[in-house]
């Protein structure tokens, strides 16, 4: 295949994904990462929100205001607390992944955004190593200007999204060929300072069932679709993992 033919194939792959998004998730654009979502969604809690505490003599110590007050034992206990949270996040996310993409033979879309800047952006190829190398070689992979969630007011009073450069990678791969647990663990590790870590934003989209998933960090993930009945079984099966704060918003999709 010539370079020109290869570039054409890559562009066609991007166009194919965008056409799918236009058909199923109206308003979702590859060039606007935060728009990739569904009309119906569930937000799951992964690592839990229990804060680490240091108690001495029955009194909680505000260690976060002055970490010099922490003993070596306190620091070890805090790391163990974080590791427990990451382990739970990985386990839950992996369970939700295979609940969502339950046909291992299905080819699903992978959409990845990689940014050069950011506090937790320690760029490595670890994420891409979790897919077959021959498959990754066929992925669309290009730097683009994508829209952020930051708005700037224009002279006419309208607002437009600011843009930033991102490496956009996308392609199809069978569910069985995805090292899902390693990917989700890497995402959970990222902001916690553990290795291996994944700082890239990774979206999974099933064009057969019209289900999508995105894990934002160790705290939680989203699963979505264009119709409630397509993910109702997840709402029922993993109901205890739904983020309670958002439960009223989520319940309205499924409770009649």
DSSP string, the chain: --HHHHHHHHHHHHHHHHHHHHHHSTT-BTTBGGG---SEEEEEE-S--PPP-EEETTEEE-GGG-GGG--HHHHHHHHHHHHHHHHHHHHHHHHHHHHHS--TT-EEEEEEEE-S-STT----STTGGGS-HHHHTTSEEEEEEEEEEEEEE-TTS-EEEEEEEEEEEEEEEEGGG--HHHHHHHHHHHTTT-SS---SEEEEEETTTTEEEEEEETTEEEEEESSGGGTHHHHHHTGGGB-GGGHHHHHHHH--
Average pLDDT, the chain: 91
Domain that holds residue 10: 3-254
Tell me the pLDDT band of 101, cut-offs 50, 70 and 90.
very high
Q: Please state, in angstroms and as integers, the Cα–Cα distance from residue 94 to each residue in 46, 85, 97, 112, 219, following that order.
A: 10, 14, 5, 18, 14
Domains in the chain, number: 1
Report pLDDT for 118.
Answer: 64
Tens of pLDDT, residues 213-231: 999 999 999 999 999 999 9
Report pLDDT for 78.
Answer: 75
pTM of the predicted structure, to 2 decimals: 0.90
Report pLDDT for 122.
Answer: 77
Q: Is the pLDDT of residue 103 over 90?
A: yes
Tell me the pLDDT band of 119, cut-offs 50, 70 and 90.
low
């Amino acid at each position: 295949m010539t370079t020109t033919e290869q570039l054409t194939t890559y562009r066609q792959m991007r166009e194919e994904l965008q056409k799918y998004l236009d058909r199923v998730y109206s308003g979702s654009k590859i060039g606007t990462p935060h728009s990739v979502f569904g009309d119906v969604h569930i937000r799951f809690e992964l690592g839990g929100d229990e804060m680490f505490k240091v108690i001495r003599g029955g009194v909680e110590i505000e260690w976060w205001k002055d970490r010099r007050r922490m003993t070596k034992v306190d620091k070890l206990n805090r790391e163990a607390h974080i590791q427990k949270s990451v382990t739970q996040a990985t386990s839950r996310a992996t369970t939700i992944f295979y609940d969502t993409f339950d046909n291992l033979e299905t080819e699903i879309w992978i959409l990845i955004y990689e940014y050069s800047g950011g506090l937790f952006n320690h760029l490595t190829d670890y994420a891409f190593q979790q897919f077959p190398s021959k498959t990754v070689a066929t992925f669309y992979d290009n730097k683009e200007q994508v829209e952020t969630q930051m708005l700037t007011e224009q002279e006419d009073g309208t607002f437009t999204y600011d843009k930033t450069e991102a490496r956009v990678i996308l392609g199809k791969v069978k569910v069985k060929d995805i090292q899902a647990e390693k990917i989700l663990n890497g995402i959970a590790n990222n902001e916690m300072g553990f290795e291996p870590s994944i700082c890239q934003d990774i979206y999974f989209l099933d064009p057969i069932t019209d289900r999508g998933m995105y894990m934002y960090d160790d705290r939680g993930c989203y699963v979505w679709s264009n119709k409630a009945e397509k993910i109702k079984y997840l709402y029922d099966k993993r109901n205890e993992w739904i983020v309670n704060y958002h439960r009223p918003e989520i319940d309205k999709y499924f409770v009649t």
